[in-house]
Amino acid sequence: MPGEDLGYGAAELLSLPTGEARSLSRLAELAVRQVPGCAAAHAAIWRDGEVANFAATHPDAAELSELQQRTGHGPMLDAARDRTPVTCADTLTETRWPQWASVALARGIRCAVDLVRQAGPVTLVLALYGLRPGVLDADAVPMAEMLAQLGGAVLAGNRAYDETRRTATQLQDSVGARAVTDQAKGILMQSLGCDADEALAYLRRESQRRHLKVTEVARKVIEARGRHD
């Protein structure tokens, strides 16, 4: 059943390793499988008014996205700017974006729905394309809305994971730098007959004199000790 399939797909999407590209690709694929009348889909992440990452299930969907970015006109851009869903019932009679509608019609696309979700500074736009006019109607939108909400949750989780990973990396770097500095201090205390505070003061003076970081000076002290051992 579609609901069960969506549940399994959602679980798979949420279990993917962090990464916007993979999440967007999976989200677009789910849309094609689960939304009635959806023949192709495009999912894009916007940051600072520009597309930062995207995925499409078909080259035509990618082409329509690139056309909108190049010309500055189209339903995806309106959805991202206004943060509201945008619907094109029939590309044959569409007048808001004539160039986009003309290209879409030439590719056999007759209707489109662009859904949008905001996750902090990130905007997700999920564009769905149909091959018959009006096929992406009100009955299809609830399922698509669910997919868009799911995508927003995944991207928010990715962002939180990335921030946590950056913090962990910074902490790891800090611990590593502290270990190098402590080792250099021990060498200086032994060779200069000074205490820990004096050894640290020596490293800081050399840091300022040589215009190097304290950790870089510490590494040079360790390397010099290694050459003399």
What pLDDT, on a 0 to 100 scale, did the predictor assign at position 161? 47
What pLDDT, on a 0 to 100 scale, did the predictor assign at position 151? 60
- 197 shares a domain with 92: no
- 118 shares a domain with 15: yes
What pLDDT, on a 0 to 100 scale, did the predictor assign at position 27? 81
What pLDDT, on a 0 to 100 scale, did the predictor assign at position 171? 43
What pLDDT, on a 0 to 100 scale, did the predictor assign at position 168? 41
Question: What are the angstrom distances between the C-alpha of 64 and each of 81, 124, 164?
Answer: 17, 17, 35
- 181 shares a domain with 160: no
Q: Is the Cβ–Cβ distance between 27 and 6 less than 8 Å?
A: no
Q: Which one of 164, 189, 217 terminates a domain? A: 164
What pLDDT, on a 0 to 100 scale, did the predictor assign at position 202? 87
What pLDDT, on a 0 to 100 scale, did the predictor assign at position 179? 77
Q: Is the Cβ–Cβ distance between 113 and 141 less than 8 Å?
A: yes
Q: Which one of 145, 164, 183 terminates a domain? A: 164
Question: How would you classify the pairing of strands 86-88 and 40-47?
Answer: unpaired
Distance CA 100, CA 131 (A): 15
Give, for all 229 residues of the chain, the pLDDT tens digit. Answer: 343 344 444 444 434 444 667 778 888 888 888 788 889 999 888 888 888 888 999 999 999 999 999 999 999 999 999 988 899 999 999 999 999 999 999 999 999 999 888 777 778 888 999 999 988 864 555 555 666 666 655 665 555 445 444 544 554 555 566 778 888 888 888 888 888 888 888 888 888 888 888 888 888 888 887 766 5
Count: domains in the chain: 2
Sign of the CA dihedral 51, 9, 41, 129? negative
Distance CA 13, CA 4 (A): 14
Domain, as residue range, for 193: 171-228
What pLDDT, on a 0 to 100 scale, did the predictor assign at position 4? 38
